[in-house]
Structure 1
């Protein structure tokens, strides 16, 4: 029985670890074009520190680790990080290691990552139009992203999930095209409602593309049948034209799934967060560097989860966007 149970009875088995706050793209909904204050190098967790924290978490019942960023593939020793984590044994067997990426470095790293134990990747791809991609990301790198996805596919990573943030008058007209792209290649398309996690704090709910709008567009082109048994997964999924292909929507804002949340997050500088939108953090880095033993680290996990709220509170009148942007928290 897992020991990472919060006061609402939610068992936490999914640890999201940010490997860096840096990114090779500058997506408009995530980061400003320039002037990003990067975390100082000495504050970042070492590979050994990441491994130790993860081992403690696995001992507390964590079964899946997702590596995020920024862009996690920018970390020079990312393959070693994957190898060390994939070697950890939990109560039910080896830890499953996955990674969220913009795929730019996957042509070179897909094979080594697979050999190190990486099970699957989620790739961020908001548009199939090269000019639009360059505008959205401030980098002309669409061919590189597509090559990275193909490289992951070629080495047998599955399922490959394609994530797109749906944005009004930006890419919402590509919902069907992106889904066809994924379905035709055996990937799983997932659309994400834009959340208040941008560095500029310019998010506006009234301008957000909702799950209902996404599904309306999809149903104009496909027959959708709900996939049963969502569990703790963030995406609600539908079979496309009878399956087996599926499309998912992560409706964090209009249809929050906080009641089944099983995720806890570790930032690149060693801060433990119970929620993407948490206003407080637990400093594991200082504990580690001051000589804390594993029992103390485990207690820090339990204390963090004991303070987890019932929901993210986006609809609460007093909601405040986290000080850290998504690139510094890690998805």
Structure 2
């Protein structure tokens, strides 16, 4: 039987730690939240050495050599917008309801054809405890670039993230808490890791959908075509995956507890109640549920 990965166990442990901290069960808010988010970042997020980033605050950046975007944000909100004008600049616009000292302003750099954006040099670990630490980012990308990126990576501790209509080869979302939304994504490979939070995503994902959930929920709608491969690993949480009506896939499901529902007509030829064959079984899906619910729906 498939087993949970070490990374998923880490996410589960840290979700429990964060819940205890935020409820006042371990530390005071000022100390506990700080330590909890530091530990979460250590295990869950790729650390940016933001103090070494040479640029700070809102900016207009020439998009000529940019192929990838990596964004790490801790709290507040991020809106990704595609600019349909003839502009060739990426615009970073940072706002906050209160005055920010320099050490808390957004940091960014362009490195190896990658635009890297970090929440700040002194990454305010009191996110989740104090509304004053929240700030917002509007990331405006020229449409000609935003629809043809090599990769887009979002690492989010908390907050609300609207990804617009990005198009790329590889799209990766790491969500500690909060929610991610998008109506018109396009990626050959989609990877979503959720520790505790929600994602509501619609788009075209042709090659791979890879979902790893410790707790939370994902509502994923695959438009136009069924992904060639999908891997779903659910420790605790819910996944609703909507696929085109003419999808053809073979889903192998392992469950410790929880439930799996396939709302497609199946034509199983094997005497195996954990294998669901839809159509000719062209695509290959692997599903593991420790606890929670997974549902495959027809569009």
The normalised TM-score by structure 2 is 0.28
> Considering only CA atoms, is the larger Rg found in Structure 1 or Structure 2?
2
The normalised TM-score by structure 1 is 0.26
The structure in which a higher percent of residues are strand is 2
The structure in which a higher percent of residues are helix is 1
